[in-house]
A and B are shown apart, each in its own frame.
Chain A
Amino acid sequence: MAKVRWPLVVRRFHKWLALIVGVQVVLWTVTGVYMVVVHIDTIHGDHLVRAPIAEPFDLAAVTPPARIAAAAPGASELRLQRLLDRPVWRVETPDGAALYDAASGARLAPLAERAIRTLARRIYAGRGDIVAVRLLTEAPLEMQSRAPPYWQVEFEGWNRPTLYLSPMTGELISRRHALWRVFDFAWMLHIMDYEDRTNVNNPLLRIATWSALAMALSGAWLLLWSFPRRKKKKKAAA
């Protein structure tokens, strides 16, 4: 039987594996570099919104929470906050969040488009104007992780900054912009879940990662083998 020529076998193995996973390895490095180079705080859009200012409340003018809790059975949490300078009680109920006017104690109706526009302008830290306001009842691709309905407020600008506000409480749910959308696409390519972009355990990714590891290890073996080994040569010469 012929002697196995290991360098040749490993080189063939490395080459064929590279042919199969090569494109994905390039995609991993390209998307990896994008995710590493653009800071995650920028991706999250921290620069798009103003930090809320905490001002003291005049508790004497606020409806005591006992009345609100009685009006909302099953509530798990009541929080005093502001809606356009007006103190409101935010009530977390089994059916979702609701607002109660803290002065009168009356339950507030869902917010109308005008109020959403005013709120969005206050939250947004950029200068551009609002381009479009829509009440969404179906989640767009960039909001797959959140259950609708919500208001989508789009601002002008190259990166199309978009704020998502809750119709019940007016709170900011999410912010999206072009760099986030590119990141999300890069993440999809990185984890190879082309449908939901969330499953990091999908079989395709598992096969591709272990193949890439085998390719990298065989490449490392070839690299080490290609270094000249003086000691062995000396031995051979002796």
Chain B
Amino acid sequence: MKRIRLSPLLFRRIHKWVGLILGLQFVLWAFSGSMMALLDMDEVGGHDMAMAAAPPLPANAAFIDPAAIPGTGPVSGVTLRNLAGRPVYELHTARGLRLADATNGAPVTVDERIARAVANGMNGAPIRSVEALARPNLEAREHAGRMWRVNFADEANSSAYVSAETGRFLVMRGDTWRTWDFFWMLHNMDYVGRTSFNHPLIIFVGLSALWLSGTGFYLLFKSFGRADFRWLRRRRPAPKKGPALAP
């Protein structure tokens, strides 16, 4: 086996390879940035969906007193809301979050039927399949806990994520978002989580790229000469050829 010697040649090789990798990331940044600018941000979506108007609570419903729901113990939060047409209490108890029917106090679990109904409130397309997730996948990484993934048979292959704990709609993802997310990963260099853009690798490569673009910008002034702008003065009579123009 060859021994590694700390020679100038070794450093030259490292320099060249680091330069090559940096250059590659530079190209990837330009490409992923171009693609993200090209993908329609409204089709990428995923941000304002949860802001859609919530359905009102049913009028004339006889809501029971949440204090009368048996076996809850001390609660640090109570929310009365509409879960797929049914009024429910969301109770924050010492043992975690509980859902109870707001008219009779019966416990409510977010089953597939509820998940389908909540998802349909956000997207009217026919449902292709429903999966239960024990933990968020890459598409629903901004949320926590158990959830349902409801896949629609629409053009965008949309998937709605519904919390299996609260029954709330979490996020909608479609093919445009999936394409966008791939380029966002190339852009932020977080190849595992795809979320962070404050990790050591990107800080190091970012500072190196700053050096690359800074020196490149400086070289720009060095590499343009009078000859480059000669075409701007083309209309003037061409100067006679002579020794004065020799390089």
Contact = CB atoms under 8 A, between A and B. Distances in A.
B36 A200 contact: yes
Interface stretch (B121-129, B209-217, B234-242): B209-217
B197 A56 contact: no
B63 A65 contact: yes
A213 B31 contact: yes
Nearest to B60: A70
Which label, helix, strand, loop or mixed, suits the secondary structure of the A interface? helix
A77 B224 contact: no
A80 B77 contact: yes
A66 B87 CA distance: 11
A73 interface: yes
Contact of A54 (B63, B66, B76, B80): B76
Contacts of B34: 206, 209-210, 212-213
Nearest to B214: A26
B202 interface: yes
A200 B209 CA distance: 22
Contacts of A220: 23-24, 27
Given A56-B76, A65-B63, A200-B37, A77 B81 contact: yes
B57 A69 contact: yes
B23 A219 contact: yes
A69 B209 CA distance: 58
Nearest to A53: B76
Contacts of A217: 27
B7 interface: no
Contact of A15 (B76, B80, B220): B220
Nearest to A77: B81
Contacts of B54: 76-77, 92
Interface stretch (A32-40, A109-117, A156-164): A32-40
A54 B202 CA distance: 37
Nearest to B63: A66
B150 to A, nearest CB: 22
A30 B210 contact: yes
B66 A65 contact: yes
A104 interface: no
Interface of A: 15, 18-19, 22-23, 25-26, 28-30, 32-33, 35-40, 54-57, 59-60, 62, 64-66, 69, 73-81, 92, 94, 191, 199-202, 205-206, 209-210, 212-213, 215-217, 219-220, 223, 227
10 contacts: A18-B220, A22-B217, A29-B210, A57-B77, A64-B65, A64-B67, A74-B56, A200-B37, A213-B31, A216-B23
